């Protein structure tokens, strides 16, 4: 489960690149082409089969664009592996305490289970569970998602709103979001440390609010 800090940061940049593809107000990075980088990686022997499967999902998301994936998401035929991965990513980025990196879903009974890591040292978090028929989502310690259709519809509307922003407006909003995410991740790490102390001490450690 553990991954390097560089690996987490790179993956975060790739998600951001896919997300920002929906707006002409944000220009892509000139020095790094994540799509070509993924294509090159898929032709390399350096990565494991599991890493390559995840890269194929990332590549699809980047090539199609975040907006198109939101528009094409189909609940009527159940949730497939890619849709579980994509939905977990949207949920994670809108629940700022999660952030981090998601891995490939695995089917357990009627749920897709998406392992998750967060923080600079990729600490393992509670897995994201998605019902393979309804798309209902849960993650211990975070708000459940009982209406995934409404959730993605709201995210689609927000994405369309962002696409109309100027570069300056979007930058100011990203700075504000980054500050909120930083505070939330720090709180999540604090709570994770206290939970670990409880395990080591063999008795509950109160988590102050």
Helices and strands (H, E) in the chain, number of each type: 7, 8
| Three-point CA angle 29, 170, 55, nearest 5° | 45
198 in a domain, yes or no? Answer: no
Strands laid side by side in the 111-114 sheet: 106-108, 111-114, 128-131, 137-139, 142-145
203 in a domain, yes or no? Answer: no
pLDDT at 88: 93
68 in a domain, yes or no? Answer: yes
pLDDT at 22: 47
27 pLDDT higher than 80: no
- Count of domains observed in the chain: 1
Range of the domain at 18: 5-163
Strands laid side by side in the 116-118 sheet: 101-102, 116-118, 123-124
DSSP 3-state of 141: coil
116 pLDDT higher than 50: yes
pLDDT at 2: 41
Phi, psi of 3 (to 5 degrees): -135, 160
116 in a domain, yes or no? Answer: yes
174 in a domain, yes or no? Answer: no
Tens digits of residue pLDDT in 28-83: 545 778 889 889 989 989 989 988 998 999 999 999 999 999 999 999 999 999 99
193 in a domain, yes or no? Answer: no
75 in a domain, yes or no? Answer: yes
């Amino acid at each position: 489960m553990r991954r390097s800090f560089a690996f987490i940061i790179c993956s975060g940049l790739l998600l951001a690149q896919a997300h920002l593809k929906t707006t002409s107000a944000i220009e892509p990075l000139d020095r790094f082409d994540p799509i070509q980088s993924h294509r090159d990686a898929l032709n390399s022997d350096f990565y494991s089969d599991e890493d390559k499967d995840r890269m194929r999902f990332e590549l699809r998301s980047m090539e199609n664009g975040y907006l198109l994936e939101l528009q094409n998401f189909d609940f009527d035929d159940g949730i497939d592996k890619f849709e579980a991965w994509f939905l977990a990513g949207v949920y994670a980025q809108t629940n700022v305490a999660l952030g981090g990196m998601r891995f490939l879903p695995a089917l357990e009974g009627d749920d897709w289970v998406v392992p998750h890591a967060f923080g600079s040292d990729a600490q393992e978090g509670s897995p994201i569970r998605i019902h393979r028929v309804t798309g209902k989502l849960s993650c211990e310690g975070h708000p459940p998602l009982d209406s995934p259709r409404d959730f993605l519809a709201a995210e689609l509307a927000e994405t369309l709103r962002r696409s109309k922003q100027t570069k300056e407006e979007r930058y100011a909003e990203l700075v504000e979001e980054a500050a909120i995410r930083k505070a939330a991740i720090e709180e999540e790490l604090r709570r994770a440390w206290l939970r670990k102390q409880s395990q080591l001490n063999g008795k509950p450690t109160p988590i102050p609010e």
